[in-house]
């Protein structure tokens, strides 16, 4: 049960709906409601397929290139840290020239990755995929947690417009985003320190 709660929490942090709602509303603001919900369904299904494929073949893919669990863990920790710091200290953005409106298929692809499955989400999935064979039943817990998170993401996108209109929701979202960003920084350090400890660099 403890493993399940930890896995679910880490997936919620990396892949959960809190960061998705504003992005989905922004990307689909000019679409009709029916199209928005079609995009929500297809992007959630595509993200689910990507996540499950990474879970099932990630270990073999990394093993083929001789990449160790410690290397994946340190890389994942660095990605978590860098992406969190990018939120805390956003880069100065220039205003690019007006681009053509993206197609529906392009919106679906952009939502599936990198919005629903960002780079640090990929790192977390691959890390669990490396550990899964060492713990009986862990693969089932990983897959169940992933599917649960993806269902939550779909529901959040499906009702995104209504959710954004709730009084005080943006303030709550910003607060939760700050908490999750701090947790992301702490988790990044924890992954790196744990790997360095197992490598014998710390007691």
Confidence of residue 131 (pLDDT cuts 50, 70, 90): confident
Distance CA 192, CA 158 (A): 36
Q: Would 164 be classed as within a structural domain?
A: yes
Q: Taking CA 92 as the corner, what is the angle to CA 105 and CA 78, rounded to the nearest 5 degrees?
A: 75
Q: What is the pLDDT of residue 99?
A: 59
Q: Does 97 map to a domain?
A: no
Residue 148 lies in a domain: yes
User: 142, exposed or middle or buried, with CB in 10 Å at 0-12, 13-18, 19+?
Assistant: buried
Query: Which position has the higher pLDDT, 61 or 43?
Result: 43
Is 76 part of any domain? yes
Q: Indicate the angle between helix axes 138-158 and 119-131, nearest 10 degrees.
A: 160
The answer as to whether 93 is a domain residue is: no
Domain containing 160 equals 2-88+104-198
- Whole-prediction pTM: 0.85
Note the pLDDT of residue 4.
83
How many structural domains does the chain have?
1
**What's the pLDDT score for residue 1?**
45
Residue 7 within any structural domain of the chain = yes
> Measured in whole angstroms, how far is the alpha carbon of residue 158 from the centre of its chain?
18
Q: Answer whether residue 99 is part of any domain.
A: no
Residue 17 lies in a domain: yes
- For the stretch 81-126, pLDDT in tens is 888 888 777 665 554 554 567 789 999 999 999 999 998 899 899 9
Report which of residues 151 and 64 the model is more confident about.
151
């Amino acid at each position: 049960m403890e493993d399940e709660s930890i896995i679910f929490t880490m997936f919620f942090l990396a892949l959960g709906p809190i960061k998705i709602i504003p992005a989905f509303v922004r990307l689909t603001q000019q679409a009709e409601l029916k199209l928005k919900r079609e995009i929500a369904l297809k992007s959630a299904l595509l993200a689910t397929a990507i996540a499950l494929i990474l879970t099932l073949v990630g270990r073999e893919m990394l093993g083929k290139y001789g990449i160790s669990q410690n290397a994946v863990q340190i890389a994942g920790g660095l990605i978590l840290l860098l992406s969190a710091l990018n939120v805390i200290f956003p880069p100065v953005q220039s205003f690019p020239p007006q681009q053509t409106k993206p197609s529906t298929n392009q919106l679906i692809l952009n939502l599936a990755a990198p919005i629903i499955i960002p780079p640090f989400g990929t790192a977390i999935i691959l890390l669990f995929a490396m550990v899964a064979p060492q713990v009986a039943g862990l693969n089932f817990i990983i897959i169940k947690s992933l599917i649960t998170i993806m269902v939550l993401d779909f529901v959040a996108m499906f009702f995104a417009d209504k959710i954004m209109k709730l009084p005080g929701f943006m303030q709550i979202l910003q607060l939760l985003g700050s908490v999750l960003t701090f947790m992301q920084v702490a988790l990044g350090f924890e992954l790196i320190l744990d790997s360095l400890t197992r490598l014998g660099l710390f007691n």
